[in-house]
Structure 1
Amino acid sequence: MSIHTPPHTPTRPHPPSYPLSPPQPPPPPRPQLQLMTPKRATTKSYIPTPAASRPSSPIPSLTIDTEKPRRSSTSISRTPSSLSLPLPLPLQHTSLGLTKRHRRLTALLLTSLFLLLALAYSLFHLSSTGRLLPIDVLLSHPSSPPTTPSTYNARPKPPPLPPLLLSPEEELAALVSHLASVLDTNSLPAEIDPSLPIDPDYLLGFDTRGPDRETVDAKVRDMVADTWATLPVVVFTKVPPLPPARSFVAHPLQAGPRSREVLSILSSYSLTPAPLEISLDSTRPDSPLLLRALARLTASSLPTSSTEGEVSLPLLLLGGKAVHRTVRNLHANGELRGMFREAGVGVGRNPLKDTKR
């Protein structure tokens, strides 16, 4: 019996064994996609995904929070992790409804303007037709008898005030105040008749026809007092006009003999306030009118010159009264200094005592 032995086949050497790499951990599960939208309700709804994109495990789901968030004063910051949906088409064109608010404000303003115009027109129409009472009657005391427009219009209206007539003293003060306001431009118009009283509306700076005679008379008295308190010494001379500065400066070389003497005497007393000098010569267009007007206003105290109806110059006014005596004689006997003090003029020095020294 023979034993069959298979032929010996050489065995191949095994390749060297290398350490195997550590096993890789399984991939992490895919994160679920969440859409951050304002929450309107506390319930959660499940939205299935298409079968093609659905992995074997785990099953992803899209969760939407519908709970309405609370409003806060801070602005909402948008992060990359949150998704923002586009606004609807109507909200894109009307941002927060401002256009509608502007339309309401415009309509309100136009309506208010129309009502104001209608009210103003109604008041003007009622006042012009005599159907509206004056404001003083409407605001009268409640205990006063009721007044209607018909009864008010039926009352006899007071007659208009007669034209104001000034006395010679008041007219002289008004004339001096008018000339002293602007010496270079204030002059009498050529149509004035100097032999008649000058219109008070031209000389005075207020309405002489209202509201009542007592008020007008009080204003005239105040004007006279203010004029002579501000200008206690006024002298009319035949000296060329002064420079723009209206300070009292004597012109001994340009003045006539009499005017030169009066100016020199007045300057020797250092008076306060300084005398006002008004020159009446050929360079002033209203000189003839002023000479005749001054002759009429001072006729009771001053003699006239050789020319009929004209006053002789120089003319000195102390406190609104014309000095009818020679100024040189008053200065020599010392009376002129006392007259200055009576007129309220401050005398700086006594030239008579300085001469004696």
Structure 2
Amino acid sequence: MAHRRTFSARFPDMHHVALDSPPLTPMPNLAPFDFSRKPRAQWIRMTFLALFSLMAVSAYVLFLSPPVLHPIAFDHSDHPGPSRWTPDALRLAAMRNHRPPPPGTTTASRPQIRLNETEELGALSSFIASLPQNMIPQTIDASHPLDPQLVLDFDTRGPHAEEELAAVMDDVWARNPVMLYSKIHSPISREIKQTLASLYLKPAPTIVEVDERPDEHVLTPLLFRLTKQRELPILLVGGKVVGAPKDIKELAVLGTLQSAITAAGGVVDGARKKKAKKL
């Protein structure tokens, strides 16, 4: 097809060009390009292959490839313990689903650390003071030493378990220099709370109402074994039992209780509000 010739000022001699001469601008060769539509069968075949590939990849991801996150199973009929989603069940399920150390490590061959009664009391108090939801499972025998892995949040068979245990002991009594295991419906517990409140301690005493906890029947004999006390409340200052409940008020009058609290890192009158200065 020949181009249409027009006269213009840019090409003044265009009137000398014959109409049957070849075009000034050559036409591109479009032979290599096939603009014809592909047959319908070929499009259907390609669509089927794409869908099949997508289904194959999805099946591999869902059924063959191991998932990154494993859900915690709460219903194990072959394991004793609480079956509801209580704090006991959550912690026991987490322990059951705890992944073993990777192959090649020597952690599995290390013996688990042993806790003496002082360390056991510190680990138990740290466990309880960390979260109010932390509960001792009802299946625990309070007359036997606690499993360290139950109340400690690190690998008790690791190479640095002793150092981590020492850090926990320092931390629990630094954060809780005064800790009272109390009974909310006990008159003597109320008296000790009033005595502590009159000291305006900083940090404030950590008070655990044992008779309001679901694990009361396990925690109470456990505390009796570890503190050598026979009744609640039990007052700990720096991780040590101050004395019998009936003697605590007298110790406060003598100033012995205040001295013990100061030595443990607490501040007497540290929480007392200062009166505003009159202008």
Instruction: State the TM bucket, normalised to the shorter chain.
Output: 0.5 to 0.7
CA distance in 2, matches of 1:29, 1:223: 101
Aligned match of 1:296: 225
CA distance in 2: counterparts of 1:86 and 1:349, whole angstroms: 93
Give the drift of 1:31: 2.7
Aligned pairs for 1:259-338 (under 5 A) are: 259-281=189-211, 283-299=212-228, 302=229, 304=230, 312-325=231-244, 326-338=247-259
Structure 2 residue aligned with 1:236: 181
1:200 and 2:131 aligned: no
Once the two structures are TM-superposed, the CA of residue 30 in structure 1 deviates from its matched residue by 6.3
CA contact (8 A) 2:181 2:232 kept: yes
* Cα distance in structure 2, aligned partners of 1:285 and 1:272: 29
AA paired with 1:187? M
Identity level (%): 35
Change (3 A) 1:84 1:263: farther
Distance in 2 of aligned mates of 1:205 and 1:327: 33
1:88 aligned residue: 30
- 1:72 is matched with which residue? none
Aligned partner of residue 199 in structure 2, secondary structure: coil
What do the CA deviations read for 1:52-108 (whole angstroms, capped 9, x no partner)?
x89xxxxxx76x8xxxxxxxxxxxxxxxxx646143221566xxxxxxxxxxxxxxx
Q: Could you tell me which of 160, 172, 177 is aligned with 2:109?
A: 160
Structure 2: gaps (5+ residues): 1-11, 36-105, 273-279
Matching residue of 2:138: 190
Residue correspondence of structure 1 range 18-57 to structure 2 within 5 A = 31-33=15-17
CA apart distance, 1:348:
1.4
What is the distance in 2 between the residues matched to 1:29 and 1:173?
107
| Equivalent position amino acid for 1:192 in 2 | I
Q: Give the residue type in structure 1 aligned to 2:157.
A: R
Between the aligned partners of 2:205 and 2:147, the Cα distance in structure 1 is: 27
How far does residue 256 in structure 1 lie from its aligned partner after superposition?
2.1
- CA–CA distance in 1 between the matches of 2:14 and 2:196? 118
Q: Deviations over 1:322-342 (max 9, x none)?
A: 112411110111111111100
Q: Aligned equivalents of 2:137 and 2:218: distance in 1?
A: 9
TM-score under structure 2 length normalisation: 0.61
Of 157, 169, 179, which aligns to 1:209?
Answer: 157
In structure 2, the residue corresponding to 1:195 is in which secondary structure? coil
Higher RCO structure, 1 or 2 (CA under 8 Å, sep 6+): 2
Aligned equivalents of 2:262, 2:13: Cα separation in 1: 119
- For 2:123 and 2:107, the matched residues in 1 are separated by 29
- Measured against aligned partners, the alpha-carbon deviations of 1:244-284 in whole angstroms (never above 9, x if no partner) come to xxxxxxxxxxx422111100000011111111110111x42
- The Cα of 1:226 is off from its aligned counterpart by 0.7
Distance in 2, matches of 1:209 and 1:349, equals 41
Cα deviation for residue 198 of structure 1 reads 0.6
The structure 2 residue matched to 1:256, chosen from 171, 177, 186, is 186
Provide the secondary structure at the position in 1 that maps to 2:179: strand
Counterpart amino acid of 1:238?
K
Label 1:83 to 1:280 Cα distance change in 2 as closer, same or farther (>3 A). same
Distance 1:201 1:29 in 2: 101
Change in Cα spacing, 1:334 to 1:29, as seen in structure 2 (3 Å) is closer
> Which one of the candidate residues 118, 122, 128 is aligned to 1:173?
122
Does the CA-based 8 Å contact 2:203-2:266 persist in structure 1?
yes
For 1:340, which of 261, 276, 279 is the aligned residue?
Answer: 261
| Distance verdict in 2 for CA 1:340–1:90, change over 3 Å | same
TM-score, scaled relative to structure 1: 0.48
AA paired with 2:215? Answer: D
Amino acid at match of 2:197: S
Aligned equivalents of 2:170 and 2:139: distance in 1? Answer: 29
Deviation at 1:350, TM superposition (A): 11
**Of Structure 1 and Structure 2, which has the larger fraction of its residues in helix?**
2
Tell me how many residue pairs correspond in the alignment.
189
Classify the secondary structure of the residue corresponding to 2:32: helix
Q: Cα gap change, 1:339/1:87 in structure 2, threshold over 3 Å: closer, same or farther?
A: same
SS across alignment from 2:220: helix
Query: What is the rounded CA distance, in whole Å, between the counterparts of 1:176 and 1:30 in structure 2?
Result: 104
